[in-house]
Amino acid sequence: MGLRPEFAKGVTGFVEYAKTLEPFQHNGVIKCPCNKCQCLYYYEKPDIVELHLYRNRFKKEYSVWTSHGEIDNSLMYFNIIFLVKVVAQ
């Protein structure tokens, strides 16, 4: 059984996005979110991260990419609800 095309497309999209972030732009490294590395290791070659993701998949419960500078939507939702309640008072 091979990789599903959707997964391969998602891995490629992730790596392309990671290359636009500060760690890669300034230091030339990408944090690897594979199940083995668990966002603890950085790699200079994006294709190594891509290979790790194909072999090891993403770490569990990595649907919100908070380890790469993204906003956790649940936290953003909490902040919006809090602000609405404060303004309504």
User: How many distinct structural domains can be found in the chain?
Assistant: 1
Nearest CA-CA partner of 67 in 23, 31, 20: 31
- CA–CA dist 24, 2 (Å, integer): 30
For the stretch 18-74, pLDDT in tens is 999 888 999 999 999 999 999 999 999 999 999 999 999 999 877 655 555 555 444
Whose tokens are 């919006």? That residue is 80
pTM confidence score? 0.69
Its domain, for residue 66, covers 5-88
